[in-house]
Amino acid sequence: MDGFFAVSAPREQFLGSIKLLLRFGEDNQGKTLEEAMSIRMRLTLLYSGILSATLLLFGIVLYSFLQIYFINDLKDSLREQTDVLQESVTYKLKVDPLGSDLDIQLDHVDTVQSGMYLQLVNLINGDKARTRNLGQVELPFSKDAAGKKTEGYYITEEVQQSPFLIYNQPLLLNGKLVGVLQSAYNIGLIDKFLSILRLVLILLSLVIVCTASFMGWLSSKRALKPVYALIEATRQIQKSDDLGNRIAVKPTGDEVSLLGTTINGMLERIQHMYGELDKSYMTQRRFVADASHELRTPLTTISGNAEFLQKAWLSFRQAPERRIDKEQLELSIEAIHDIADEAGRMGRLVHNLLTLARADSGLHLRKDRLNISSIVQDVIRKSQVLAKSAEFQAGPLEGLESLQIVGDRDYLQQLLFIFVENAFKYTENGCVRFFARAAGENAELIIEDTGIGMDEADIPHIFDRFYRADPSRGETEGTGLGLSIAKWILEEHRGTVEIRSRRNEGTRFTIRLPVVPATHEEGRMPALSEAASAGIEG
């Protein structure tokens, strides 16, 4: 019977899954976090990028502000000086409307600020007057550009390879352009200053970014040291295959501490799941071994009797003239009865195994509103005719007439029959009593006997499959699956059972089933549970 059931051992697969889960410190090529783009590298690059962007923005703002400030200050100075000289020129034009006295000597102008250059262009005769600091140098002038302007305007031109900011003020006589008054500054020093400033800002930013990146790289290593310790501890757990190991977490309250606590919680849950899986695996192995043992006995009996019948009756084929021996006939009939009995036993065992398999796969019963009194009375009536050696007493049934429950009628009857038959099975001489009563929100169904009883240590295990409390209980007929099926039926109906037993005194089972308000007449009513609308699942 070793090959009758196929049982898989999931331990290696489970541990393999855990190892794969714990290998979060390595990538697909086996590279560690230090060798790949680690969090340390990413943090350093991120903060370096933010610092670089900040310094770039600061440099652009500072450079633009100084450039605009210096240029605007020069423009204001040029405009103010030009306005002062324009008043003198305008007065001359009023005295001499023909503009013949437009020529003004500027080489002796004392009001000119240091570094400022002035030039007056007479468009009537083409003469140009300028300040001494210009010498023979002429400021660039465009008659076409001046003719299109009525207000002063600024231009930047190269004069002897030096940049000049020039302010041009058109001079009009009767709406006609007769001259242009120009004032200028050499802005070469400002351009040079701004160039040096730009270079200093770039170099300083590079130094700051490099220094900050290096310091960030060192500080991130120190900051991430607990993370690397966490990874190493997890790897040690992976290598040891011992899920009972835990990571030593310092109660700092930071993210690393929270991560370590979370991983420990995950390991705790995995260890619990593995324990449950291992327990389930061992239970399955024991179940298969017990089922194989239970099936081996009837199969051996059937095989032995079949072999006996084969030998006994093949001789008549070889010698048809032989008469049938009466003793041989009785033995053959007895063998046939044994085969039928063992086949029936095997059928019941297979039926019970199928029921438990459906329960394990998540079978849900179709539940209707039922009158508990009618179910109990049917069980009592059918129990009267069971083959038994003990006395059977039924009643009283106190207050059951108005009680209704939600459940499956057939399975509830099977539940009660299992407990009644179990009581008869272990009570050869004595009494089995079945009574019921209303108890608050429950209906209490009590089956008690005066049989052999059992020890208190055996009570938690009697619902285990194929469990026998002691060898003497194993001598009785049965598959050892009835109480396991009863437990499943109780769980499906949200019921409970209380067990009291003493060795050689008897056992008492108190079954409690929740009742519902009796709002409908007796009988099957529309299903009340969600599972009822879907019928039987599984």
Between 374 and 148, whose confidence is greater? 374
Q: Where residue 469 sits, what CATH number does that domain have?
A: 3.30.565.10
Distance CA 266, CA 260 (A): 10
Query: Looking at the 3D structure of the chain, how many domains does it have?
Result: 2
Tell me the CB-side half-sphere exposure of residue 24, using CA atoms within 13 A: 11
Please indicate, yes or no, whether residues 395 and 477 belong to a single structural domain of this protein: yes
- Report, as an integer, the average pLDDT of 55-64: 91
Contact 231, 25 (CB under 8 A): yes
Helix runs in 96-136, H state only: none
- Is 284 or 257 the better-scoring residue by pLDDT? 257
Q: Give the full edge-to-edge strand order of the sheet including 162-173.
A: 128-130, 116-122, 176-186, 162-173, 153-159
**CA 148, chain centre distance (Å):** 74
- Pick the last residue of a domain from 338, 358, 378: 358
pLDDT value for 94: 57
Residue that is last in its domain, among 327, 358, 389: 358
- Determine the average pLDDT of the residues in 402-406: 87
Find out whether 36 and 24 touch, Cβ atoms under 8 Å: no
pLDDT beyond 70 at 117: yes
- Alpha-carbon gap, residue 17 to 96, rounded angstroms: 106
Query: Are 441 and 314 contained in the same domain?
Result: no
pLDDT for residue 37 is more than 70: no
Report pLDDT digits (tens) over 167-221. Answer: 988 888 777 888 888 888 888 888 899 999 999 999 999 999 999 888 888 888 8
Residue 524 has pLDDT above 50, yes or no: no
Residue 262 class from Cβ within 10 Å (0-12 exposed, 13-18 middle, 19+ buried)? exposed
Token readout for 302 is 């059937």
- Summarize the confidence of residues 114-137 as an average pLDDT: 80
Q: Clarify whether residues 415 and 478 are in a common domain.
A: yes
Distance, in Å, from the CA atom of 85 to the CA atom of 149, rounded to the nearest integer, reads 19
Q: What is the pLDDT of residues 287-335, one digit of tens each?
A: 676 667 667 767 777 888 788 777 777 766 666 666 667 777 777 788 7
Instruction: Count CB neighbours of 146 within 10 A.
Output: 20
Residue that the structure tokens 């004595």 belong to: 430
Pull the structure tokens for residue 443. Answer: 């209906």
Number of H helices, E strands in the chain: 11, 12
Shared domain check, 407 and 345: no
Per-residue pLDDT of 145-157, as tens digits, reads 777 777 888 888 8
Q: Looking at the domain assignment, is residue 339 inside a domain?
A: yes
Taking alpha carbons only, the member of 116, 180, 111 closest to residue 145 is 180
Q: What is the pLDDT of residues 481-519, one digit of tens each?
A: 778 888 888 888 889 999 998 888 899 999 999 998 755
Task: Tell whether 393 and 510 lie within a shared domain.
Answer: yes
**Residue 354 is assigned to a structural domain of this protein:** yes
Measured distance between the N- and C-terminal CA atoms of the chain, rounded to whole angstroms: 28
Radius of gyration of the chain (CA): 54
Calculated CA dihedral for residues 469, 471, 473, 476, nearest 10 degrees:
150
More confident site: 432 or 477: 432
DSSP string, 369-400: EEEHHHHHHHHHHHHTTS--SSEEEEEEEET-
Mapping DSSP to helix (H, G, I), strand (E, B) and coil, where does residue 165 land? strand
Query: For residue 497, what are the CA distances in angstroms to 360, 370, 479, 483?
Result: 20, 20, 21, 11
Q: Is residue 457 part of a domain?
A: yes
489 and 515 together in one domain: yes
CB 406 within 8 A of CB 528: yes
Residue 352 and residue 499 in one domain = no
Looking at the structure, tell me whether residues 523 and 493 fall in a common domain: yes
Give the pLDDT confidence score for residue 349 in this predicted structure. Answer: 72
Would residue 403 count as lying in a domain?
A: yes
Within a domain: 117: no
Q: Which residues contact 224 (CB under 8 A, 6 or more apart)?
A: 39, 40
In tens, the pLDDT along 379-391 reads 888 888 776 778 8
Question: Would residue 241 count as lying in a domain?
Answer: no
* Residues 262/441, Cβ–Cβ less than 8 Å: no
Query: Average per-residue pLDDT in the chain?
Result: 76
Same domain, yes or no: 310 and 451: no
Report how far apart, in Å, the C-alpha atoms of 435 and of each of 358, 373, 422, 429 are: 31, 11, 16, 20
Residue 460 has pLDDT above 70, yes or no: yes
Q: What's the rounded mean pLDDT across residues 324-348?
A: 76
Same domain membership, residue 398 and residue 344: no
DSSP 8-state class, residue 320? T
Task: Say whether pLDDT at 132 is over 60.
Answer: yes
144 in a structural domain: no
Which two three-digit tokens encode residue 76?
């204001």
The answer to the question of residue 46 being in a domain is no
Q: Both tokens of residue 434?
A: 């079945």
- What gap in Å lies between CA 310 and CA 305, rounded to an integer? 8
pLDDT at 520: 45
The one-letter code for the residue type at 131 is T
* 186 SS3 class: strand
Shared domain check, 368 and 354:
no
Confidence at residue 297, expressed as pLDDT on a 0 to 100 scale? 64
Residue 32 is predicted with a pLDDT of 47
On whether both 477 and 346 belong to a single domain, the answer is no
Give percent above pLDDT 70 in the chain.
Answer: 76
pLDDT tier, 454 (very low <50, low <70, confident <90, very high otherwise): confident
| Residue 325 belongs to domain spanning | 300-358
